[in-house]
Amino acid sequence: MAILKILKENDTGLRLHSREVSEITPRILRLLDDMKETMRDADGCGLAAPQVGVLRRVVVMETEPGKMLELINPVIKKAEGEQCEIEGCLSLPGKSGKVKRPAHVIVEALDRNGKLCRYDGYELNARCFCHEIDHLDGILYSDKAIEMYKNTDND
């Protein structure tokens, strides 16, 4: 496994639409493993493939320690409710913003074995699903933020 370089907000690669994964190959499995290691090394709770320069619909998430989700071709099937919370992003270091998101989402995605899985996401998980899936479509949370903040070292 390897630590990958995380693209920053001024990189045009973050604004491109990612392609679906048509076949789960050893290369996709390695990407999942490298993304997990990269996300953990950067102390994040989610990472999308475009953030590491790969335009494929692949996401990893770990909003609770030890509960890693690997999502291939994730799709939000249902969204309901509303929450407005602060978000950050590994691609926008030193910034955060208040973003309105659904309070609950249902997401379908393939796992690393090609099995179709269904996930219910509430609160933080719902935000993370939406945030990471937005990355796959070239959207940053700052595009949707009601307010943006510059973080200080004292936070």
Give me 140's structure tokens.
């940053």
Taking Cα atoms as reference points, which of 72, 67, 83, 85 lies closest to residue 29? 72
Phi then psi for 71, rounded to 5 degrees? -120, 125
Q: Are strands 83-87 and 95-101 parallel, antiparallel or unpaired?
A: antiparallel
* Total residues belonging to the chain: 155
**Taking the CB of residue 41, how many other CB atoms lie within 10 A of it?**
11
Is residue 132 annotated as part of the catalytic site, yes or no?
yes
Q: How far apart are the C-alpha atoms of 45 and 61, rounded to whole Å?
A: 6
Which position among 87, 108, 132, 147 bears the catalytic label? 132
* Residues marked as catalytic: 132
